[in-house]
C-alpha cells in the first residue's frame, strides 16, 4: 500500500539495498567467470601424483612383477590353455568393491602404486578400471599390503611391505588417508567422494578447488582424454572382444553344445580379421609414445593367438560342413561304419579296383575313362593322406609333444570315412548308383555321379591340407609357448 513519499531515512536504506544488490550481482558474475575460467584451466590439468592405483590379487608379485592371466596355464574344459588376458587392472584411491563381474573380498594382497609412476603404461585411465597391457614391474615407491603371515620372508627391492591385521579393504583406505590423499567410493561403473573428501579430492586430483563444488569424478573423462588415455572400462574394449572370440573358438573345439555352424565359423573368421586390423592400429598408435618391452611382448602374443584361432577355425568349419550331410551325421568315428563300408576305406588303387570289379561294364571305353579319372585323383589324395597320417603317428609317439591332436586325427579319419560310405554306395545295384547308370548306359548321369565323387575326393584333399595347417599352428604354439 502506498503511504506517501519515502522519508529521507527510507531513501538512504533503499539506496544501500540497491548498492548491495548491485555489488552482489557483480560478485556473482565475478565468481561465475572465475568458476568458468578455472574449470577451463582444469580441463588440461590432472595430478597423477595424488592418485593411488590399487590392485587386489591372491598372488604375490614374485621378483616384483605383476603377471597377467596369460602368463599362467589353466584347465579349460579339459584342455590346458593360456587365456589371452594380458591386462592388469587397478582402481583409483580405493580398493575395488565386489560386484556382479567379480568378487575381491577375500583377496590376499593389495598392491598400491603412485599413479604417476606407471603413467607411460596406462591404456585406460578410469577410476574403476584403470589398466595396462603386459606384465608390470613394480616401480620404487610402491607398497604391498597383506597379512603378516602372507608377507613373511618376502622382499622386493624399493617396495615397502606392510603387514595388516584388520580387513584388507579398510587397511588400504586408512593408508591412503594417512598419506593425506582423498579416499574414493568405488562403485561398479564410477567413483565419488564423501563430503569430507570432496574438497580434498578436487584440490589434489585436479590441482585446484572447483568453485562450483561439484567435483565427483565426472570431470575425469575429459581430463583423461586430454592426456591421451582411453576412458572406457575393459569390458567392451578391443581386448575384451579378442578374449571373447578366443573363448568362442575354444568352446567350439571342446563342446558340442557350443559347436559353430559353417556360417558362424566364417563370421568369426571375419571378426578376427577385423580385430587384427584394430590391433595393428593400436600398436601403431602406442609406437608413437613408446612401447615397453612387456607391452610389446603382450601385443605380439595377442596377435599370435588371433592368428592361431584362424587356423583352428579351419577344423571347426570342416566339422560343421561334415555334419550337414545326412549320410555322415550319425558317424562320430570310423568304427561307426558298417563292415562293408570299412572295406572301402582308402587304400590307393585297391579302392578303384574294387569299384571296377563290382561294375558291369557294358561300355568298356567310357567306364574305363571315368574310373581312370577317379583313380588319378584318389591316388594323389591317398599319398597325402598317408604322409599326414605318418606325421600324426610320429608326433603321437613323441613324449615331449604334449599337445592334444586327437581331434585332428579324428576329423581326418572321418573325412576318409565319408568317402568310404560314398564309394560303398556307388557300387550298389539300386537306382541312383554308378553301377545302375553303367548298366543302363546313362552316361550323362554316370558322369555326374563321378563328378560328385571327384568333388568329395577333392574335399578330402582340402581337408588334409587344412588339418596339416592346424597341426603346424598347434606345433608352433607349443614350441613358442603362447
Cβ neighbourhood burial of 413 (10 Å; 0-12, 13-18, 19+): middle
**pTM, 2 dp:** 0.79
Asked whether residue 110 carries a pLDDT value surpassing 90, the answer given is: yes
Beta carbons of 235 and 85 less than 8 angstroms apart: no
* Residue whose C-alpha cell reads 603413467 in the numeric block: 119
**pLDDT score of 228:** 86
Residue 444 DSSP SS3? helix
Q: H or E segment at 186?
A: strand 185-186
Q: How confident is the model at residue 298 (pLDDT cuts 50, 70, 90)?
A: very high
Q: Is the dihedral of CA 316, 318, 323, 328 positive or negative?
A: negative
User: Measured between alpha carbons, how far is 147 from 164 in angstroms, rounded to an integer?
Assistant: 5
How far is 408 from 389, CA to CA, in rounded Å?
10
Contacts of 386 (CB under 8 A, 6+ apart): none
Report the distance separating Cα 63 and Cα 208, nearest Å: 38
Backbone angles phi, psi at 109, to 5 degrees: -130, 150
371 vs 92 pLDDT, higher one: 92
Decide the pairing of beta strands 136-137 and 142-146. Answer: unpaired
Q: CA torsion 78→79→84→85, rounded to 10°?
A: 30
Rg (C-alpha) for the chain, rounded Å, is 36
Coil/strand/helix, residue 53: strand
228 φ, ψ (degrees, to nearest 5): 90, 10
Specify the pLDDT at position 197.
Answer: 79
- List, for residues 135-157, the tens digit of each pLDDT value: 999 999 999 999 999 999 999 99
What average pLDDT does range 77-87 have in this prediction?
85
C-alpha cell at 121: 603404461
Over residues 58-75, the pLDDT tens digits come to 999 999 999 999 888 877
Taking 90 as the threshold, does the pLDDT of residue 99 lie above it?
A: no
What pLDDT, on the 0 to 100 scale, is given for residue 383?
Answer: 81
Amino acid at each position: 500500500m502506498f503511504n506517501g513519499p519515502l522519508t529521507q531515512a527510507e531513501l538512504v536504506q533503499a539506496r544501500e539495498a540497491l548498492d548491495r544488490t548491485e555489488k552482489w550481482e557483480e560478485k556473482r558474475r565475478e565468481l561465475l567467470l572465475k568458476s568458468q575460467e578455472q574449470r577451463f584451466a582444469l580441463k588440461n590439468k590432472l595430478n597423477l601424483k595424488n592418485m593411488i592405483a590399487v590392485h587386489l590379487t591372491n598372488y604375490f608379485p614374485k621378483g616384483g612383477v605383476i603377471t597377467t592371466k596369460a602368463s599362467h596355464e589353466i584347465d579349460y574344459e579339459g584342455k590346458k590353455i593360456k587365456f589371452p588376458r594380458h591386462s592388469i587392472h587397478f582402481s583409483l584411491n580405493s580398493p575395488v568393491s565386489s560386484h556382479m563381474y567379480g568378487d575381491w573380498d577375500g583377496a590376499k594382497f593389495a598392491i598400491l602404486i603412485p599413479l604417476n609412476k606407471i603413467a607411460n603404461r596406462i591404456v585406460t585411465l578410469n577410476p574403476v578400471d584403470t589398466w595396462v597391457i603386459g606384465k608390470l614391474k613394480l616401480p620404487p615407491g610402491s607398497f604391498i599390503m597383506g597379512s603378516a603371515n602372507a608377507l613373511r620372508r618376502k622382499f622386493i627391492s624399493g617396495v615397502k611391505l606392510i603387514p595388516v591385521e584388520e580387513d584388507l579393504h579398510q587397511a588400504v583406505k586408512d593408508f591412503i588417508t594417512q598419506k593425506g590423499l582423498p579416499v574414493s567410493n568405488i562403485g561398479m561403473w564410477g567413483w565419488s567422494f564423501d563430503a569430507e573428501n570432496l574438497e580434498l579430492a578436487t584440490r589434489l586430483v585436479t590441482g585446484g578447488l572447483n568453485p562450483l563444488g561439484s567435483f565427483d569424478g565426472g570431470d575425469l573423462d575429459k581430463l583423461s582424454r586430454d592426456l591421451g588415455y582411453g576412458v572406457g572400462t575393459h569390458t567392451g574394449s578391443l581386448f575384451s572382444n579378442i578374449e571373447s572370440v578366443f573363448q568362442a573358438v575354444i568352446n567350439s573345439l571342446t563342446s558340442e553344445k557350443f559347436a559353430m555352424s559353417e556360417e558362424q565359423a566364417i563370421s568369426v573368421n571375419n571378426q578376427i580379421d577385423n580385430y587384427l586390423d584394430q590391433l595393428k592400429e593400436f600398436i601403431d598408435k602406442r609406437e608413437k609414445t613408446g612401447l615397453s618391452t612387456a607391452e610389446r611382448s603382450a601385443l605380439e602374443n595377442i596377435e599370435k593367438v588371433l592368428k592361431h584361432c584362424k587356423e583352428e577355425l579351419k577344423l571347426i568349419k570342416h566339422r560343421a560342413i561334415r555334419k550337414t550331410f545326412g549320410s555322415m551325421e550319425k558317424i562320430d568315428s570310423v568304427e561307426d561304419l558298417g563292415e562293408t563300408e570299412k572295406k572301402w576305406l582308402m587304400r590307393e588303387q585297391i579302392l578303384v579296383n574294387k569299384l571296377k570289379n563290382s561294375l558291369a561294364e557294358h561300355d568298356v571305353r567310357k567306364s574305363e575313362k571315368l574310373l581312370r579319372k577317379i583313380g588319378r585323383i584318389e591316388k594323389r589324395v591317398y599319398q597325402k593322406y598317408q604322409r599326414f597320417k605318418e606325421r600324426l603317428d610320429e608326433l603321437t609317439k613323441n613324449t615331449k609333444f604334449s599337445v592334444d591332436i586327437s581331434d585332428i586325427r579324428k576329423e581326418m579319419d572321418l573325412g576318409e570315412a565319408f568317402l568310404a560310405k560314398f564309394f560303398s554306395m556307388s557300387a550298389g545295384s539300386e537306382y541312383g548308383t554308378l553301377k545302375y547308370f553303367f548298366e543302363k548306359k546313362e552316361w550323362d548321369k554316370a558322369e555326374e555321379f563321378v563328378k560328385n565323387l571327384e568333388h568329395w575326393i577333392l574335399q578330402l584333399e582340402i581337408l588334409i591340407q587344412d588339418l596339416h595347417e592346424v597341426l603346424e599352428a598347434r606345433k608352433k604354439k607349443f614350441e613358442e609357448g603362447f
